[in-house]
Structure 1
Amino acid sequence: MTSSGVLVLAATPIGRVADAPPRLAEELAGADVVAAEDTRRLRRLAADLGVEVGGRVVSYFEGNETGRTPQLVEALQAGERVVLVTDAGMPSVSDPGYRLVVAAVEAGIHVTAVPGPSAVLTALAVSGLPVDRFCFEGFLPRKAGERSRRLAELAAEPRTMVFFEAPHRTGATLAAMADAWGDDRPAVVCRELTKTYEEVRRGALAELARWAAEGVRGEVTIVVAGAAPAAAVDTDPASLRAAVAALERDGLRRKDAIAGVARQAGLPKREVYQVVHVEREADDDD
């Protein structure tokens, strides 16, 4: 049975209050419950919008998502309208919300959204890089080794990639990207999007890494061009094994290297797997 309650994911401005979607004020005023990543920011936002939050206000952030989610689902099952807001942008996109959406869907509750500002789409649109196909990769791992492995996995990604990054890690991340993907890969760093000191800096990864090494301030979104089409791989066993070995040396796990070579060669993964492992088994027998 479908509940009469509704979960509303409400986008909030990423910079200027004037960018708030018109429905945001209406939803804040009419909600039975407003779950906010930061209740103080919510109060300031409501004051700037000239609206009084009508319902109960509860906190909903990374530290209490697990415990708070069942409480909010109970409110939804009781027929209440719950509005979820985060500090900026769309809830659940690198922000709290995903757990609540999953729980609401599993409980048969209607989930809707107030569309609005998005750092991902804004950065992509102004980047000047291809927008016909793209992927959002969120934040990269903080540890250098894990970050390098993740970048190696994305080395052959043909789509434009969008990342979030903390300002104090931006220089190191751009340098790691240059190491993994080449100094000349085109990229764009978007800083403080839609705010007073907005900056969009375009260039090659190595150039941007040198610029960011001096320090970056504000909210950062990085957009990077996808990999150029790879040269065709010969399908004879020796060439397939050599191509897999080359990707492994670049840091890819074997299964990811096999998948990449299979795509380039237009072969099923299992066929490349068999070619690689037959040779390794033969070497072991020797």
Structure 2
Amino acid sequence: MVAAATAAAGHQQYPAGTLYMVATPIGNLADLSLRAIHVLGLVDAVACEDTRVSAQLLRWLGLHRPLVALHQHNEQQAAEALVARLLQGERIAYVSDAGTPAISDPGAVLVAAAARAGVRVVPLPGASSAAAALSVAGDARALGFRFVGFLPTKAAERRAALQALTGAPYSQVLFEAPHRIVDLIALLADVAPTQTLTVCREVTKQFETIHTAPCASLPAWMAQDKQRERGEFVLVLHAAESLSDDTGLPDEALRTLRVLTRDLPLKQAAALAAELTGESRKLLYQQALEWKQAQSVDDDGTRGDEDGEDGNDAGQGGAAP
């Protein structure tokens, strides 16, 4: 394997005094690139998130290199020491436990310190659970994507963070731990029932599961098999359908209004949305009122107003609320 890596990647130059950011497998060892293997055998030291995990990987490759711990608790101090070594001409690789460093993993502080010192940084791309999930989500409507990572763990902060994500025109990638996945799926079904979600479990591993469906249907799907709650999770919240077809308001203003109307009276939500977006307060209020009336019809078949507000309020004398 090492010989094959040298044959494939050895012709490229690997300058001394360079930091190599090396992506490692997220579950399937066969995903490690030949170039990564070559560099791990070439460097003077391997800095890593967990020396035990990286030692196991190097043993599997038949490589022996000094290991230096750099994790979230010592990253600043360890980065300074590693930059000093790089300035002396050493080649150093950095690997996190799995996937691409600095994406929900340590590494960014080290790269920033190296850049400040004028040290060259070279990426060695490879496995990324976020990229893998996006590639199978099939979100053809999306205008790009956003990496979110892990949401807050406290209930109120978690709900607020998730509400802020709904209605976006791009894909959004979330990570979740197995002991919180059921709660997150239930919360998504509550705050974004009509949006589509792709659930990726144990990506690249033996029991990999990929399922795409509207958020509202996913709690029942999860409950059908307890095995679906186990493993590492990557979620892709698909882009929402456009809200602005006949409103005369841009999507961004409507998304802002949608979030605000969940917790505020309509007039207050419209006024705040107008201040934040620069759009017409009158149009925003009218749209919020339409949403409220539509919800009343869905709930009990009748139209109703909020807190005694009259549907004609926004139109009297042409004045906004």
TM-score, structure 1 normalization: 0.80
| Partner in structure 2 of residue 10 of structure 1 | 22
8 Å Cα contact 1:23/1:114 also seen in 2: yes
- Contact 1:25/1:46 (CA < 8 Å) preserved in 2? no
Q: Secondary structure at the match of 1:137?
A: strand
Name whichever of 89-98 and 213-222 sits farther off.
Answer: 213-222
Identity of aligned residues (%): 38
Corresponding residue for residue 37 of structure 1:
49
Shift of 1:8: 0.8
Q: Counterpart of 2:233?
A: 220
Q: Which residue of 2 aligns with 1:80?
A: 90
Partner of residue 156, structure 2:
145
Counterpart among 182, 202, 206 of residue 171 in structure 1? 182
For 1:87-141, what per-residue CA distance to the aligned partner results, in whole angstroms no more than 9, with x for missing partners?
1100000001011111111211111111111101111112222366211111111
Worse overlay, 126-135 or 14-23: 126-135
- Structure 2 counterpart SS, 1:141: coil
Pick closer, same or farther for the CA change 1:29–1:96 going to 2, 3 Å: same
Amino acid at match of 1:227: A
- Count, aligned residues: 259
In structure 2, the residue matched to 1:124 is: 134
Secondary structure of 2:147's counterpart equals strand
Corresponding residue of 1:238: none
The answer to whether the Cα contact below 8 Å between 2:257 and 2:273 also exists between their aligned partners in 1 is no
Q: Deviation of residue 212 (structure 1)?
A: 3.3
Distance 1:233 1:107, change over 3 A: farther
Equivalent residue for 1:50? 62
SS at match of 2:229: coil
Equivalent residue number for residue 109 of structure 1: 119
1:228-243 to 2 correspondences below 5 Å: 228-231=241-244, 232-234=246-248
CA distance in 1, matches of 2:174, 2:233: 9
Q: Which of 210, 221, 240 lines up with 1:200 in the alignment?
A: 210
Query: 1:161 aligned to 2:181?
Result: no
1:281 is aligned to: none
User: In 1, Cα distance between the equivalents of 2:59 and 2:16?
Assistant: 30
Q: Letter of the aligned partner of 2:114 in structure 1? A: A
Instruction: State the Cα distance separating 1:272 from its structure 2 match.
Output: 5.8
TM-score using structure 2 length: 0.72
Instruction: Report Cα offsets for 1:125-172 as digits up to 9, x if no partner.
Output: 122223662111111111111111112222231101111111111111
Q: Which residue of 2 aligns with 1:27?
A: 39
- For the pair shown, the structure with the greater C-alpha radius of gyration is 2
Deviation at 1:246, TM superposition (A): 5.3
| Deviation, structure 1 residue 178 | 2.0
Q: Are the equivalent residues in 2 in contact too, given 1:160–1:224 (CA < 8 A)?
A: yes
Q: Which runs of 5+ in 1 are unaligned?
A: 236-240, 277-286
Query: Does the Cα contact within 8 Å between 2:243 and 2:254 map onto a contact in 1?
Result: no
Could you tell me which residue of structure 2 aligns to residue 96 of structure 1? 106
Q: Give the superposition deviation at 1:244.
A: 6.5
